[in-house]
Amino acid sequence: MTKQLTTNRLHATMESHQLLAVIWEKSKLNLKSEAAINYLSYCWWVIEPVIHMLCYYLVFELLLNRGGPDFVFFLLTGLVPWLWFAKVVNQGSMSLVGGQHLMGQLFIPKLFFPLVFVTQCSVKQLMVFSILLVFLLLSGFSASAHWLASVLVMLVQLLFMIPLVCLLAVLVAFIRDLNFVIPTLLQFTFFCSGIFFSIETISPQYQDLFFLNPMVGLIHQYRETLLHNHWPDWLYLGKILLGSALLWLLTLSLYRRHEYTIARLVQE
């Protein structure tokens, strides 16, 4: 009995490693394909977020005259992680429905589809985040050991997004109407994540409610490490990781229970 359990675990580990390898290869192929159809190729990975940031800067800094001399840095350190989050959620939530043709041709673990989109967007994010760091350095900010902690904040954000996107993807497979609800919720969350304003401007009686949105705390931690050379709130990051782990357990149970149901649903 013990030998059989050990053998099953070894097979499961091998399958997990194979799945991760396939996810990585598929992500690379998608990124190359995406770059190949554009004249500027990989440059769009940088140009697109820069255009987003420039638009918001022009509106809030120049037209509305909001913020102060350092507002552009405050804005960018909020927008960069948010754009990563928004892209992963938008694309990943529709990944199972979008993978219906492949599901009809062969059996593949359904987690493969949302994880590919998470990987694609995260590879792009590494480049965008590197450009943000270079911009801060050229603008007079001094790199410190605290900047290394921002990488850990990125990792926490990634570990938070993985179960969230996988859960949304399976929910959309069951309830297609969520495809219309998710962009609206993202838009609402966008304005409630402290991208354009500091959390200190929120009334103390509402701050606990405000921090129920994990992106609020994560964006605040990015600013603490990059702009103020402070260490992040390790306890807060630990809470995010704990919540992400519980969400991952819930998501895994749904995928295991409906592994074969999902393929039928997305093809109806």
Res. 129: pLDDT tops 60: yes
pLDDT value of residue 128:
87
Residue 117 maps to a domain? yes
Provide the residue range defining the domain that includes 89.
Answer: 18-266
16 against 263, higher pLDDT? 263
Cβ atoms within 10 Å, residue 5: 9
**Residue 248 token pair:** 């991952």
- pLDDT tens-digit map of 170-189: 999 888 888 889 999 999 98
Residue with tokens 């350190």: 77
**20: Cβ contacts below 8 Å, ≥ 6 apart:** none
pTM: 0.85
Kindly tell me if the per-residue pLDDT of 32 is higher than 70: yes
Most confident of 12-21, 117-126, 207-216: 117-126
Token pair, residue 28, equals 């690379």
Based on the number of CB atoms within 10 Å of its own CB, is 31 exposed (0-12), middle (13-18) or buried (19 or more)? Answer: middle
Residue 8 lies in a domain: no
What is the reported pLDDT for 66? 64
CB 165 within 8 A of CB 92: yes
The number of folded domains in the chain is 1
- 238-255 pLDDT per residue, tens: 999 999 999 999 999 999
DSSP one-letter code for 63: I
Asked whether the predicted pLDDT for residue 257 surpasses 60, the reply is yes
Q: Which of 17-21, 22-26, 32-36 has the lowest mean pLDDT?
A: 32-36
- Give the pLDDT score at 233: 93
pLDDT at 227 over 80: yes
Share of the chain above pLDDT 70, in %: 86
Residue 13 lies in a domain: no
Judge whether 3 lies within some domain.
no
Residue 13 burial (CB < 10 Å; 0-12/13-18/19+)?
Answer: exposed
Residue 115: name the closest of 148, 146, 88 by CA.
Answer: 88
Residue 29 belongs to a domain: yes
Query: What's the confidence (pLDDT) of residue 231?
Result: 94
176 lies in a domain? Answer: yes
> Would 170 be classed as within a structural domain?
yes
Alpha-carbon Rg for the chain in angstroms: 20
- Which amino acid is present at 80? V
| Residue 11 is assigned to a structural domain of this protein | no
When pLDDT is averaged across residues 43-48 and rounded to a whole number, the result is 73
pLDDT value for 238: 95
